[in-house]
């Protein structure tokens, strides 16, 4: 099992086909640390992207967010009970 929870290694199409095809948009996600309450909903939904530290604040582990993980990040943004996550494109 790979760290991405799949049987095969994750391959980011943006790295495979850099600047080609128009399908690779650089996506970032930011945590508003003033709002975050550390309940780790985001890390539960997208552990490849978020981690909650000993200070009970979420951090982004991976930037830019690979396109293949966009859907998981969008779910995490929707489920964050403090609305502390925002996608930046």
Q: Which residue has the tokens 């981690």?
A: 51
Residue 14 vs 85, nearer CB to ligand SF4: 85
The stretch among 12-20, 21-29, 33-41, 61-69 that binds ligand SF4 (CB under 6 A) is: 33-41
**Phi-psi group of 38: left, alpha or beta (phi > 0 → left; psi -120 to 50 → alpha; rest → beta):** left
- Binding to ligand SF4 in span 49-78, by CB under 6 A: 52, 58
The stretch among 5-13, 15-23, 39-47, 65-73 that binds ligand SF4 (CB under 6 A) is: 39-47
- Taking each continuous run of H as one helix and of E as one strand, the counts in the chain are 3, 4
Contact with ligand SF4 (CB under 6 A) among 4, 13, 37, 74: 37
For 2, residues 6+ apart whose C-beta sits below 8 A from its C-beta are 8, 9, 10
47 touching ligand SF4, by CB under 6 A? no
- Are 17 and 68 within 8 A, CB to CB? no
36 touching ligand SF4, by CB under 6 A? yes
Q: How many CB atoms lie within 10 A of CB 62?
A: 16
Residues that bind ligand SF4 (CB under 6 A): 31, 36-42, 52, 58, 80, 82, 84-85
């Amino acid at each position: 099992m790979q760290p991405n929870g799949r049987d095969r290694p994750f391959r980011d199409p943006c790295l495979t086909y850099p600047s080609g095809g128009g399908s690779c948009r650089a996506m970032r996600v930011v945590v508003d640390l003033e709002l975050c309450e550390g309940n780790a909903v985001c890390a539960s939904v997208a552990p490849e992207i978020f981690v909650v530290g000993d200070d009970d604040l979420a951090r982004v582990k991976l930037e830019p967010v690979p396109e293949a993980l966009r859907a998981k990040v969008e779910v995490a943004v929707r489920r964050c009970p403090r609305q502390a996550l925002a996608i930046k494109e």
